[in-house]
Structure 1
Amino acid sequence: MTQKIQLPLQTANLVVGFMVWVLISSLLPFISEDINIPPERVAIITAIPVVLGSILRIPLGYYANVYGARVMFFISFIVLLFPVYYISETSTVTGLLIGGTLLGVGGAIFSVGVTSLPKYYPKEKHGLVNGIYGMGNIGTAITTFSAPVLAMKFGWSLTVKMYLVLLLVFIALNFFFGDRKEVKVKAPIVEQIKGVYKNEKLWFFSLFYFITFGSFVAFTVFLPNFLVNYFGLEKVDAGLRTAGFIVVATLLRPVGGWLGDKFQPLFLLMGCFAGLTAASIVLAFSPDIALYTVGSILIAAAAGIGNGVIFKLVPLYFSKQAGTVNGIVSMMGGLGGFFPPLLLATIFSMTGSYSIGFMAFSQVSLASLVLVVWLYYMDRVSLSKEVFDSTKQGILVTNQTGVIVSVNPAFTELTGYSEKEVLGKSPNVLSSGRHERAYYDDMWRQIEEEGVWHGEIWNKKKNGEEYLEFLSISAVRDGTGDVVRYVGSFSDISPVAGEGNRFS
């Protein structure tokens, strides 16, 4: 029973964590009426929780493996009690900065669930499970919409204090219903980082999440003030529109995870980055509120699906170091939400327009699209090489003139020749001399006419031992029909073969 409730419990934990995480940015229009905040400090105040909420994801993801999700959520919510109360009582910009820094713990708990929950489900469901958990992003929408409404009625200070009650409730829920028997992984964090930091996929996934989740966070903290100041909307209306953006991105996250379980995840990411590129170009032209809404919703959809897909990819490639990798990738996503608001605010102060910032975002998205395409094809090349190296049949590849350009390990094991010894030479180096010229003429005539030849042939190993092999030669042609290489695969079928030289 305890294991069955972990998905709903941890998803609810994330909802609460994200509700607390965006408290300041959601209430900033009200807070600024009581606290004089210089314009240049606004972006910093909203970005500070994002920074700590990003950096802390690495240790929280790691310690979720060491101590389990129950302990990490329990401690995190206790810690959050202090900044929430402090913010509700502060009357200075410095107080907002101090309290906002510790609010970052609310965003950092994301890496706890994505590390813990896959332990309870088979791999083919990891995308969907992490996608459902990621719906906890809806917490930002709940606060963005409800906090301004409550502040209008009760004031922003009392509204912030209401979150203390919510935190106390979830401290109790995790204490009583958290899984005390969760599987623990206690490999030192330094060893885990050493095991993954040289893997380029870690940094690719980090970049992709930097863009997808970063755009989600950036728009979440950027839209409330932007819609009020740029379009002159009412505070509650701006909060409602921002909540709509968050809801779309959040609901599509499990869809992205589910699609990642069913289809090639990298193909899905290509579509996401194409969507982000197109939408940000639309926003760069400073459209009216209607077209701006369309562009924002498209960004929400692409970011939401992309977020779900990426956390299907992480456990797929890093099953043993999932906690640390989840922490690094999700940290980069959180940092992705830190820079865009600062960049947009700086550009606006210099030019009076946000267009350059949105156009820059479109180019970053386009570059990410190119990288996903490159990674997909590199993955295919890597897969082909794995098959080439692991097959138990000897394989040699020649160019169109018959010069050997590649052989696999099985070739060396069967013939005794290393790759270095045969590269640049003709396959005749293996000839036993048993067959007449007419035999080879018939072979190549059939290859030229039919593109393939199969048959038995006597060849000779490096040590001079002759052996009988079953050989298949295929001609590989390009799009114009010209032969670009020949591939031969063979197995030892000698009546008597030494142990280890028999291939079937």
Structure 2
Amino acid sequence: MFRKIQLPLQTLNLVVGFMVWVLISSLLPFIKEDIAIQDGQLALVTAVPVILGSILRIPLGFYANQFGARKIFLISFILLLFPVYYISIADSLADLLIGGLFLGIGGAVFSVGVTSLPKYYPKERHGFINGIYGAGNLGTAISAFAAPVVATKFGWSTTVQLYLVILAVFIAGNFLLGDKRELRVKTPLLEQIKGVYKNEKLWLLSLFYFITFGSFVAFTIYLPNFLVANFGLDKVDAGIRTAGFIVLATLMRPIGGWLADRFHSLILLMFVFGVYTISAMILSFAPSISWYTFGCLSIALCAGMGNGVIFKLVPMYFQKQAGIVNGIVSAMGGLGGFFPPLILSLLFNITGHYAIGFMALSEVALASLILVVWMYFQGKMELAKEVIDHTIEGILITDTSGKIISVNPAFTSITGYQENEVIGKNPSILKSGKQPQTFYKDLWKSIEKNGFWQGEILNSRKDGQQYLQWLTISAIKNNAGDVVQYAGMFSDISSHKMKKS
């Protein structure tokens, strides 16, 4: 019973965590009517919750493996009671900064579910499951839409205190319904970090999530006040438009995970960063509200889709260290939401517009697109290398002059020659001397005419022992049809011949 309800329970936990996380940004137009906040300080107030919400994701992802999601969610929600109450009675900028910092715990709980939930499902469903859980981002939309509506009637302080009731309900829910028997992973933290920090895929995935989730968070906390100040919208209208951005990004997250379960994840990311590049360029030209809406919604679509795809890739590349990697990648995504509002605010104060900031987003997205293409082709090369290294047939590759440029482990196993002993040499070192010269002339005529030769040949091992090979030599051509390399694949068939005789 408890196993079946973990997905809906943990997804709702994330909804609540994110509702609390963006509490200040959702109510900022109301709060600044009572608390004096200068324009240059607005971005800082909204960005501060992101700090702890990012940094804490690493230990929470690790401890979710150590102690289970039930305990981590319980402790997190209990701790959130204090900053939420503190903000409800805030009367200064310092109060908002202090309380906002600890609201970050609400954003940090993201790494708990992405670490816990895959334990309950087969690998082929991890993308969709993490996408469903990630739809808990909807909590930001709920706050962006509902908090201003409630604050209009009851005031922002009372609205904040209502969140205490919601947290209390979920503390009780996790205590009663959380899985006490969740599978624990006890790998030490330092051991996990040592196993991943040199892997370039960790940092590439972190960069990609820095952009996709970072832009989601940045736009969520930046839009309400920006739409009011820049386009003169009223506060409720700005909240509804922000909620629309969040809902679209949230709905695309499980769709992105579902697509990643069925199609190549890196091809999907190529689409994501391609659209990002174009959309950010549109925003950089300071367009009208209609074009601004188009650009923002395009980014929302790609942000949600990219978020779902990336957490399909994490367990593919990292199985034993999924907890710590989920924490690091999600932390980088959180930090991606911290810096853009501050940078945009700084650039606006210097230049009077946001064009440079959005153009920077476009350039970073373009760089990410290039890196994804590189990962895609590198993955193909790694797959080919895995096949070559683990096949039982010996393989040697020569250049057009006949010098050996590569061999596989099976080559060494069959011939006795190590790689460093044959690189740069001619395959004639394997000759037994039993075939006449005409045999080799006919062999090369077949390769020139047909592109390959296949047959039996008697060759020698390093120790001089002769053995019978079944050999295939193929000419490898480029797109222009020119031969660039030759590949030989062979197996030892001596024992088969002996059995037949």
Shorter-chain TM range is over 0.9
Name the amino acid aligned to 2:267. F
How far is the alpha carbon of 1:401 from its aligned partner?
Answer: 1.6
Question: Structure 1 residue 495: deviation in Å?
Answer: 3.5
How far did residue 326 of structure 1 move?
0.2
What amino acid is aligned across from residue 254 of structure 1 in structure 2?
A: P
Shift of 1:190: 0.9
TM alignment of 1:78-477, pairs within 5 A: 78-477=78-477
What SS is found at the alignment partner of 1:185?
A: coil
Aligned to 1:17: 17
SS in 1 for 2:459: strand
1:70-123 deviation per Cα after TM superposition (whole angstroms, max 9, x unaligned): 000011000000000000011011111110010000000000000000000000
Name the TM-score, length of structure 2 as normaliser.
0.99
Q: Distance in 2 between matches of 1:405 and 1:11?
A: 53
Change (3 A) 1:494 1:161: same
CA distance in 2, matches of 1:256, 1:421: 49
Question: For the residues of structure 2 that align with 1:180 and 1:479, how far apart are their CA atoms?
Answer: 59
Quote the offset at 1:446 in angstroms. Answer: 0.7
Cα–Cα, structure 1 residues 497 and 331, in superposed 2: closer, same or farther, change >3 Å? farther
Cα deviations by residue, 1:8-51 (Å, 9 ceiling, x for unpaired): 00000000000000000110111101000122221111111011
Unaligned runs of 5+ in 2: none
Residue aligned with 2:470, SS? strand
More moved, 258-267 vs 32-41: 32-41
Task: Quote the residue 2:72 is aligned against.
Answer: 72
Question: Shift in Å at residue 404 of structure 1?
Answer: 0.7
SS of structure 1 residue aligned to 2:487: strand
User: What is the CA distance between 1:66 and its match in structure 2?
Assistant: 0.4
Q: CA deviation at 1:381?
A: 1.1
TM-superposition CA deviations, 1:401-455 (whole Å, max 9, x none): 2111100111111111111111111110000000001111111111111111110
Runs of 4+ in 1 over 6 A off after TM superposition: none
Query: Who is 1:40 aligned against?
Result: 40
CA distance in 2, matches of 1:495, 1:280: 65
The Cα of 1:268 is off from its aligned counterpart by 0.2
1:26 alignment partner AA:
S
Give the drift of 1:496.
7.8
Q: Within 2, Cα distance between the matches of 1:90 and 1:220?
A: 23
Q: What's the CA shift string for 1:155-197, capped at 9, x where partnerless?
A: 0000000000000000000000000000001111111011111
Distance in 2 of aligned mates of 1:338 and 1:383:
37
Shift of the alpha carbon at 1:497?
10
Letter in 2 for 1:272: V
SS of equivalent residue, structure 2 residue 486: strand
- Secondary structure of the structure 2 residue equivalent to 1:179: coil
Q: Deviations over 1:228-270 (max 9, x none)?
A: 0000000000000000000000000000000000000000000
> In the aligned structure 2, how far is the partner of 1:248 from the partner of 1:333?
18
Equivalent residue of 2:494, what SS?
A: coil
Per-residue CA deviation, residues 123-178 of structure 1 (Å, 9 max, x unaligned), is 00000000000000000000001101111100000000000000000000000000
Deviation track 1:365-414 (CA, whole Å, cap 9, x = no partner) reads: 00000000011111111111111111111000001121111001111111
After alignment, is 396-405 or 116-125 more displaced?
396-405
User: Which SS does the other structure have where 1:337 is aligned?
Assistant: helix
The letter for the 2-side match of 1:36 is: A
Is the partner of 2:384 in helix, strand or coil?
Answer: helix
1:3 alignment partner in structure 2 = 3
- How far apart are the structure 2 equivalents of 1:496 and 1:142? 71
Superposed CA RMSD in Å reads: 1.1
Distance in 2 (alpha carbons) for counterparts of 1:353 and 1:97? 26
- In 1: Cα distance, 2:319 partner to 2:497 partner: 41
Describe how 1:481-500 pairs up with structure 2 within 5 A.
Answer: 481-495=481-495
Deviations 1:461-480 (A, max 9, x none): 11111110100111110111
> What letter matches 2:12 in structure 1?
A
1:340-387 CA distances to partner (integer Å, 9 max, x unpaired)?
Answer: 101100000001100111011100000000000011111111111111
Matched to 1:244, the amino acid is G
